[in-house]
């Protein structure tokens, strides 16, 4: 199976993240949420948007937020049922791959 390029992943992430309307319907049922927005699904998407679209923040910081996600997909089910089907869990996993690709490219240069 061929690996998706960093640029293609970036395009996919940015296209899909636009469908998140920040309704926060997925926040409280995220099992890692303990009161801080960044610990939630929607918070993770906001951090992804800042890093991928605007080059704000650090890869290490984003990586920590994304690897704290338990990949349970509850946010995804919730969004599909009650909001825009923005596929937040898929976006989180794609961004993990985007970060891993970038790290690999850094090591190879």
Q: How many residues bind ligand SF4 (CB under 6 A)?
A: 29
> Footprint of ligand SF4 on residues 55-74 (CB under 6 A)?
69-74
CA distance 91 to 97: 10
Q: Interhelix angle for 6-17 vs 88-108, to 10°? A: 150
Reported residue count of the chain is 109
Binding track over 27-46 against ligand SF4, x by CB under 6 A: ---xxx--------xx-xx-
Q: Does 96 bind ligand SF4 (CB under 6 A)?
A: no
Compare residues 7 and 54 and give the one whose CB is closer to ligand SF4.
54
């Amino acid at each position: 199976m061929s690996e998706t390029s960093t640029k293609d992943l970036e395009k996919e992430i940015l296209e899909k993240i636009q469908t998140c309307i920040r309704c926060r319907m997925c926040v409280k049922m995220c099992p890692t949420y303990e009161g801080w927005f960044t610990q939630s699904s929607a918070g993770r998407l906001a951090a992804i948007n800042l890093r991928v679209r605007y080059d704000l923040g650090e890869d290490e910081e984003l990586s920590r937020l994304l690897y704290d996600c338990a990949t349970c997909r509850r946010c995804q089910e919730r969004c599909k049922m009650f909001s825009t089907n923005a596929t937040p869990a898929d976006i989180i996993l794609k961004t993990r791959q985007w970060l891993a690709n970038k790290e690999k490219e850094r090591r190879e240069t």
